[in-house]
Amino acid sequence: MPQLNGGGGDDLGANDEMISFKDEGEQEEKISENVSAERDLDDLKSSLVNESENNSSSSDSEQAERRPQPRPDLDSYEKTRDYFSEALRRQQDGGFFKSPHYPGYPFLMIPDLTNPYLSNGALSPSARTYLQMKWPLLDVPGAAGLKDPRSPTPGHLSNKVPVVQHAHHVHPLTPLITYSNEHFSPGTPPSHLSPEILDPKTGIPRTPHPSELSPYYPLSPGAVGQIPHPLGWLVPQQGQHMYSIPPGGFRHPYPALAMNASMSSRFSPHMMPHHPHGMHQTGIPHPAIVSPAIKQEPNSHDHMSPSMHSKSPGPAKKEEDKKPHIKKPLNAFMLYMKEMRAKVVAECTLKESAAINQILGRRWHSLSREEQAKYYELARKERQLHSQLYPGWSARDNYGKRKKRKRDNKPDSTPEGKGKNSIYRPPLPFVYPDFSIRNKNQCVQYLPSEKMCDSPASSHGSMLDSPATPSAALASPAAPAATHSEQAQPLSLTTKPEGRLHHHFLTGKPSGSASSSSSSSSSSSSSSHPSISIPIGTSGSHSSHSAPIFSRPIPFSSLHHSMLSPPSPFHQAALHSHHALFQSQPLSLVTKSSD
């Protein structure tokens, strides 16, 4: 795998990613801190024991607020996704970007967890990665708990956690850390966490706040990893399916989730029940749930059983307003986007998401099959988890919760003249210049220059080793593939006889929008692949194929399969990348530092 050996083309991409991340030395310091922290794992364990004990007896009002919210209703899902993204990004960064921005991650890898995918009982790298991403997020305390006024970077604590923040070395778990700090027993603080600071409230020595120590991860990663997860049942247990379903039908918001002994011990029912508004109707707030207070959407004859939240017998509308908004699970591209956005923003001066998304869209296509497969797999897991968390949820439920887009935009209007945010689209065919040497100055606003930022080929080099065809990818995932550039991504890539043209070749508008305004997309079935667009790398034709190429031939789609069957070679390759990435982090960090 290119990103594993550090010799792959991904290194190129890593280079530019490094641009956005300064303070390499600082990172190294943090790492060493974490290493020492690892040695204190035992101490931390005992501390955690105390912590859990303290949690129940905490008198702090803030804690009292947090306590009943083992999971934030709004943030955790976001964070979950952020962690997804971060893990993926690190993965993609290959050897260069291995400095663990989240030193705690390795400790979040649960070594003794049974791999839900591998028959040998070992936790697959993918599963680890997934858990790493899932777990911390699930562990993030409630929004209230996240907002620590002492935090140097309140933005991190906001509902949205831009990935770019990671570049500033603030662990996304900072909220969790803060949370943990307050509950940490002062008795056995890790050696590296000199509790010289006394808690003004209690007078008890407390571990310094992140702002007091460093913007980085103040707690031992081991400590974080040891923190009992409120959703511990999500973590696969020995010989247990990752999403095992309780035979008894655990009466729980997430009925599909198993309640095992571990869960019952660390997540006693009394922890779950009461939930403030905005939580999942079932009582446990889920990250995918967006409180109506935060996301008020007009109308919506909803869908979910009303009543649950209505404390006062108000109009049905009020009840609906109180209904949680369960977001759709992110698809592969969304996951990728969340991960890569920060990089693009860092590399370029672009700020507008529209422009950034265009870049991301191209980069997405520049990804190798394997890389994309990772996101597809993660997205699939997201959907699985989501469907299990909300068995009755349907995408339809969210219909109408957003205001409809204006349809009055003339589909035929040229991009240049269209709309206020009209973004220039490069004339096609468009050849991406090689800007492997990234310079922020090279990026100016809007796409004409954005193109300069958007150098998929050079950024990852993945196209060089990505399979040219799905069949090739499947047949020999590890085998160096033929060229795979956006220009080279031919229609032939798709095994699908015809695909939906998502984006019109010229306008680039999604077919949905464009076509909604009628004939714009001459596309449609026969024209799904406008002849002119075939060899072009823009988001046009093949975009709609990338996913099917994967998801269809690769047996990811089946939960049963993915959970019970050994991964396909292709899958394994992707999984391996996860595994190797984390294993090679420290070394790569050095490499990066010296770089």
Partner DNA sequence: TGGCCTTTGAAGCGA
Partner DNA sequence: TCGCTTCAAAGGCCA
Interacting positions 474-493 with DNA (CB under 7 A): none
Tokens 């010296």 belong to 594
Residue 281 beta carbon to DNA: minimum distance, rounded to whole angstroms: 16
Residue 499 has a CB neighbour count (10 Å cut-off) of 21
Of the candidates 92, 94, 16, which has an alpha carbon nearest to the alpha carbon of residue 372? 92
Binding DNA (rule: CB under 7 A), the pick from 227, 257, 258, 423 is 423
Residue 563 beta carbon to DNA: minimum distance, rounded to whole angstroms: 16
Bond from prior residue into 136 cis (ω within 30 degrees of 0): no
Binding DNA (rule: CB under 7 A), the pick from 406, 427, 560, 594 is 406
For position 419 contacting DNA by CB under 7 A, the verdict is yes
C-alpha–C-alpha distance, residues 109 and 69, integer Å = 24
C-alpha–C-alpha distance, residues 346 and 340, integer Å = 10
Nearer to DNA, 171 or 592 (CB): 171
Site string for DNA, 27-46 (x = CB under 7 A): --------------------
Nearer to DNA, 509 or 579 (CB): 509
Beta bridge partners of 325: 290
For position 351 contacting DNA by CB under 7 A, the verdict is yes
Binding DNA (rule: CB under 7 A), the pick from 144, 164, 245, 559 is 164
C-alpha–C-alpha distance, residues 464 and 337, integer Å = 21
Q: In Å, how far are 37, 55, 69 from 65, measured between CA atoms? A: 29, 12, 7
Nearer to DNA, 4 or 506 (CB): 506
Residue 406 beta carbon to DNA: minimum distance, rounded to whole angstroms: 3
Nearer to DNA, 98 or 542 (CB): 542
Burial of 140 (0-12, 13-18, 19+ CB in 10 A): buried
Per-residue 3-state assignment (H helix, E strand, C coil) for 258-276:
CCCHHHHHHCCHHHCCCCC
For position 366 contacting DNA by CB under 7 A, the verdict is no
Binding DNA (rule: CB under 7 A), the pick from 66, 341, 369, 381 is 341
C-alpha–C-alpha distance, residues 98 and 91, integer Å = 8
For position 414 contacting DNA by CB under 7 A, the verdict is no
3-state DSSP assignment of residue 82: helix
For position 280 contacting DNA by CB under 7 A, the verdict is no
Binding DNA (rule: CB under 7 A), the pick from 201, 405, 448, 558 is 405
Rg, Å, the chain Cα set: 24
Nearer to DNA, 96 or 505 (CB): 505
C-alpha–C-alpha distance, residues 158 and 140, integer Å = 13
Site for DNA in 367-396 (CB under 7 A): 372, 376, 379-380, 383, 394-396
Give the single-character DSSP code of 238. Answer: T
Burial of 497 (0-12, 13-18, 19+ CB in 10 A): exposed
C-alpha–C-alpha distance, residues 299 and 296, integer Å = 9
Beta bridge partners of 453: none
Residue 233, C-beta contacts closer than 8 angstroms, at least 6 positions apart: 257, 258, 259, 260, 262, 263, 267
C-alpha–C-alpha distance, residues 182 and 63, integer Å = 8
Part in contact with DNA (CB under 7 A); list of ranges 146-154, 175-183, 322-330, 575-583: 322-330
Site for DNA in 81-120 (CB under 7 A): 81-82
The answer to whether residues 519 and 527 touch, using CB atoms and an 8 Å cutoff, is no
Residue 414, C-beta contacts closer than 8 angstroms, at least 6 positions apart: none
Nearer to DNA, 40 or 382 (CB): 382
Site size with DNA, rule: CB under 7 A = 86
For position 398 contacting DNA by CB under 7 A, the verdict is yes
Site for DNA in 497-556 (CB under 7 A): 497-498, 500, 502-503, 508-513, 515-516, 521, 523-526, 528, 538-540, 543-548, 551
Residue 172 beta carbon to DNA: minimum distance, rounded to whole angstroms: 11
Nearer to DNA, 493 or 589 (CB): 493
Part in contact with DNA (CB under 7 A); list of ranges 169-177, 224-232, 236-244, 358-366: 358-366
Binding DNA (rule: CB under 7 A), the pick from 78, 86, 320, 371 is 78
Part in contact with DNA (CB under 7 A); list of ranges 17-25, 197-205, 407-415, 476-484: 407-415
Site string for DNA, 206-245 (x = CB under 7 A): ----------------------------------------
